[in-house]
Each structure stands twice: as C-alpha cells, then as structure tokens.
Amino acid sequence: MFEVLTGTGLAASAGLNAYIPLLTMGLLARYTGLIDLPSGWQWLGNGWVLAILAALLAVEVVADKVPVVDHVNDVVQTVVRPTAGGLAFGAGASSETVTVSDPGSFFSSNQWVPVVTGVVIALGVHLLKSAARPVVNATTAGFGAPVASTAEDATSVVVSLVAIILPVLVLAFLLGLVAFLFWFLRRRGDRRREREAARAAGFRV
C-alpha cells in the first residue's frame, strides 16, 4: 500500500514538473538511505543522469514562468510529464523491470502496469495544470504566471519528498487535488455563464 502511495505521489508530482520527482529520487538514492531504488531503476542515481535532469529542470523552471512561453512549454510537456510520471511511479513503487533488450518479457508480464498507471496520473495532473494556467494568465494580465509556477514547483518538491518519506500524506494531497478540480470546474462554469450573460446584454443594447 505504501509503495503504491509513493508511486502515486511521485507521478502526480511529475504532472506538475517532470524533472523534480526523478531528480529527487536520484539524489536521495545516491546520497542518502531514504530510498533504495530497485535494480531496474539504479540508473536514476547515475551522476550524468542527475546532471542532465538538473539542466532540464533549470530550463523548465525559467520557461514555465514566462507568459505565452509557459503555454508552449505545456504543449511540449504533454509528452514529457506523463513519461516522467510513468518512470517515477515505476521506480517509486519498487517495480522490477527488465532491460530494453527483452521488451517481449516486459509486455507479457505485469511490469508495464506501474508505468502506465504513472503515465495516466501524471497526464491527469498535467492537463489540469495546463487548463488552469491560461485562466491565471488572463485574470492577472500575465503577472500571475511566475507566482503560479513557483507554487507548482514548490508543491512538486514537497509532494516528492512526502511520497518518499511519509507516503500516507499523499492521500491529503490527492484529496486537495480533487477539491481543486471541483472548484476549478465550477469557477470555469461561472465564468462561461458570466460571458454569455454579458454577450446577451450587449445584444439587447
């Protein structure tokens, strides 16, 4: 159960920022005893992999805080974040995988299930984030983008650490995410009705 919560938290974190959960796992596995990656995921602790993830994270942090550029970044990340979520869930849930030299064994077993689960979770969070960002930009004339992005990055870091250290708290994050989803959909519906009312009033005038 805890392994599933860990994988879920890391995948959700990847939906906000693809590189933070992977970098967090790699650093903690390499320099601490807080996480012991399964054999199929030891590469996450490799020095070169960590350096590449850090460089990609730096680009992501800057791009996601600039209005318009953040939208382009979200389009690109539609592939990257779910992929990272699949990797994060697979590693975080301690699922053993075979090497790419034996893909038949990978798909004939259940080893693909954690990866696909992580992809779905990260994609869901990413789509919610991508839908909310234009609303933030529009209502704040773009000034809210850096604030929202910083909050997302901080949330990704916290959720990644919580998923590894105290995974039961991931449940609280998931409940908060569901509550935000309901609020966002309701707010979006209210804004649509306000626009329709304003349009109808304009026609009457």
Structural domains of the chain, count: 1
pLDDT of residue 97: 34
Which residue range is the domain that position 132 belongs to?
A: 2-204
pLDDT number for residue 204: 55
pLDDT level of residue 176 (50, 70, 90 thresholds): confident
CA 173 to chain centre: 13
- Read off the pLDDT band of 48 (50, 70, 90): very high
Q: Are 87 and 118 in contact (CB under 8 A)?
A: yes
Summarised one tens digit per residue, pLDDT across range 4-40 is: 778 888 888 898 899 999 999 889 888 987 887 777 7
Confidence bin at 105 (pLDDT 50/70/90): low
What is the tens place of the pLDDT at every residue in 130-142?
Answer: 887 777 777 777 6
Give the residue carrying structure tokens 């004339």: 141
Q: What percent of the chain has pLDDT over 90?
A: 10
The three state secondary structure string of the chain is CHHHHHHHHHHHHHHHCCHHHHHHHHHHHHHCCCCCCCHHHHHHHCHHHHHHHHHHHHHHHHHCCCCCHHHHHHHHHHHHHHHHHHHHHHHHCCCCCCCCCCHHHHHHCCCHHHHHHHHHHHHHHHHHHHHHHHHHHHHHCCCHHHHHHHHHHHHHHHHHHHHHHCHHHHHHHHHHHHHHHHHHHHHHHHHHHHHHHHHHHHHHC
Among 75-84, 104-113, 161-170, whose mean pLDDT is lowest? Answer: 104-113
Say what the pTM is.
0.74
Q: pLDDT tens digit string along 38-47?
A: 777 788 889 9
